[in-house]
A and B are shown apart, each in its own frame.
Chain A
Amino acid sequence: MATPTWKNPVIKWIDYRLPIFTFMHGELVDYPAPKNLSYWWAFGSLAGTLLVILVLTGILLAANYTPNVDLAFVSVERIMRDVNYGWLLRYLHMNGASMYFICIYFHILRGLYYGSYKRPRELLWIIGVLILLISMPTAFLGYVLPWGQMSYWAATVITSLATAVPVIGQDLVEWLWGDFVVGNATLNRFFAWHYLFPFIILGLAFLHLWALHVHSSNNPLGIDIKGPQDKIPFHPYYTAKDGFGLGVMMIVYMVIVFFFPNFLLDVANYIPANPMVTPTHIVPEWYLMPFYAVLRAITFDIWFIPAKLIGVVAMLASIAVLFFLPWLDRSPVRSAKFRPLYKQFFWIFVLDCIVLGIVGANPPEGIFIPIGQAATAYYFTHFLVIVPILGVFEKPKALPNSISEAVTAGGGSGKEAN
Chain B
Amino acid sequence: MSETATTADATEEGESRRDFLLIATGAVGAVGTALAVWPLINSLNPAADVLALGSTEVDLAPIKVGQSITIKWRGSPVFVRRRTADEIEAAKKDDGADLPDPEADADRVQKAEWLIMVGVCTHLGCIPLGQNRGDSKGEFGGWFCPCHGSHYDTSGRIRKGPAPTNLPIPPYVFLTDTTIKIG
Complex CA gap A160/B50 in Å reads 19
Residue of B nearest to A276 (CB): B77
Residues of B within 8 A of A277 (CB): 127
A278 in complex: contacting residue of B44, B72, B75, B127, CB < 8 Å: B127
B126 neighbours in A (Cβ, 8 Å): 153, 156-157, 278, 282
Identify the stretch in B23-31, B32-40, B84-92, B141-149 within 8 Å (CB) of chain A at 4 or more residues. Answer: B141-149
Contacting B at CB under 8 A, from A197-225, are none
CA gap between A278 and B145 in the complex, in Å: 9
Check if B127 sits within 8 Å of A181, measured CB to CB: no
Give B151 Cβ to nearest chain A Cβ, in Å: 13
Q: Which residue of A lies closest to B71 (CB)?
A: A276
Per-residue contact bits, chain B 113-126, to A (CB 8 Å; 1 contact, 0 not): 00000001001111
CB under 8 Å from chain A, chain B span 10-59: 41, 44-47, 50
Bitwise, A306-344 to B at CB < 8 A (1) or not (0) is 111001000000000000000000000000000000000
The reply to whether A178 and B164 form a contact with Cβ atoms under 8 Å apart is no
Q: Which of A278, A296, A306 contacts B146 (CB 8 A)?
A: A278
A153 contacts across to B, CB distance below 8 A: 126
Chain A positions 118 through 148: 1 when the CB is less than 8 Å from some CB of chain B, otherwise 0: 0000000000000000000000000000000
- Contact present for A306 and B164 (CB under 8 Å): yes
Alpha-carbon distance between A159 and B126 when the two chains are bound, in angstroms = 12
Residue of B nearest to A184 (CB): B50
Q: Are A296 and B45 in contact (CB under 8 A)?
A: no
- Measured between beta carbons, the chain B residues less than 8 angstroms from A159 are 125
**CA of A175 to CA of B146, assembled, Å:** 27
Q: Are A157 and B125 in contact (CB under 8 A)?
A: yes
Say yes or no: A299 contacts B75, CB within 8 Å.
Answer: no
Docked CA distance A280–B126 (Å) = 10
Mask of B87-125 contacts with A, CB within 8 angstroms, 1/0: 000000000000000000000000000000000100111
A contact residues around B70 at 8 Å (CB): 276
In whole angstroms, how far apart are the Cα atoms of A277 and B70 in the complex?
11
Q: How far is the CA of A311 from the CA of B120 in the complex (A)?
A: 20
Interchain nearest-CB distance for A143 vs B (Å): 16
What interface size band does chain A fall in? 20 to 34
Q: Is the CB of A175 within 8 A of B164?
A: no
In the complex, which residues 277-308 of chain A have their Cβ closer than 8 Å to any Cβ of chain B?
A: 277-278, 280-282, 296, 299, 306-308
Q: Which residues of A contact B149 (CB under 8 A)?
A: 364-365
Candidates A157, A161, A175, A189; contact of B147 at CB < 8 Å: A157
Q: When chains A and B are docked, how far (Å) is the Cα of A308 from the Cα of B148?
A: 11
Across the interface, which residues of A come within 8 angstroms of B46, CB to CB?
A: 174, 177-180, 185
Say how far A375's CB is from chain B's closest CB, in angstroms.
17
- Whole-angstrom distance between the alpha carbons of A364 and B163 in the complex? 14
Residues of A with C-beta under 8 A to B75: 179-181, 183, 275
B178 located at the interface, meaning its Cβ lies under 8 Å from any Cβ of chain A in the complex = no
B66 interface residue per 8 A CB criterion:
no
Q: By the criterion CB–CB under 8 Å, are B147 and A178 in contact? A: no
Q: Which residues of B contact A280 (CB under 8 A)?
A: 146
Assess the A276–B146 pair: CB atoms within 8 A.
no
B50 and A183 within 8 A (CB) = yes
By the criterion CB–CB under 8 Å, are A180 and B76 in contact?
Answer: yes
Q: How far is the CB of A360 from chain B (nearest CB, A)?
A: 13
CB-CB under 8 A from B47, the residues of chain A are 178, 185
Query: Are B124 and A161 closer than 8 Å at their CB atoms?
Result: yes
A174 contact set on B, CB distance < 8 A? 45-46
Nearest A residue (CB) for B162 = A307
A370 vs B145: C-alpha distance in the bound complex, in angstroms?
A: 20
In the assembled complex, B74 has its CB within 8 A of some CB on chain A: yes
Tell me the complex Cα distance, A308–B120, Å. 16
Chain B positions within 8 Å of A307 at CB level? 162, 164
Residues of chain A within 8 A (CB-CB) of B45 are 174-175, 178
Q: Enumerate chain A residues within 8 angstroms of B72, measured Cβ to Cβ.
A: 275-276
Chain A nearest CB: distance from B109 CB in Å?
Answer: 23
In the complex the two chains form, is A180's CB within 8 Å of B125's CB? no
The 0/1 profile, CB within 8 Å of B marked 1, for residues 159-192 of chain A is 1110100000000001111111101010001000
Residues in B with CB closer than 8 Å to A156 are: 124-126
CA distance A176 to B46 in the complex (A): 9
Asked if A178 and B50 make an inter-chain contact with CB atoms under 8 angstroms apart, the answer reads yes
- Residue from B74, B123, B148, B162 within 8 A of A181 (CB atoms): B74
Cα A180 to Cα B45 with chains together (Å): 10
Who on chain A is nearest to B51 by CB?
A180
CA distance A328 to B41 in the complex (A): 37
User: How many Å lie between the Cα of A159 and that of B44 in the bound state?
Assistant: 14
A180-B74 contact in complex given A160-B125, A308-B164, A364-B148, C-beta closer than 8 Å? yes
CB distance from A303 to the nearest CB of B (A): 14
A185 contacts which chain B residues (CB < 8 A)?
46-47, 50
List B residues at the A interface (Cβ < 8 Å).
Answer: 41, 44-47, 50, 70, 72, 74-77, 120, 123-127, 145-149, 162-164
List 5 additional A-B contacts (Cβ < 8 Å) besides A161-B124, A174-B45, A180-B76.
A156-B124, A160-B125, A183-B75, A278-B127, A308-B124
The 14 listed contacts between A and B (C-beta, < 8 Å) are A157-B124, A163-B124, A175-B44, A178-B44, A178-B45, A181-B74, A181-B75, A183-B50, A183-B75, A185-B47, A277-B127, A278-B126, A308-B124, A364-B148
Ranked nearest first, the 8 interchain pairs of A and B with the lowest CB-CB distance are A181-B75, A160-B125, A160-B124, A278-B126, A156-B125, A157-B124, A278-B127, A180-B74
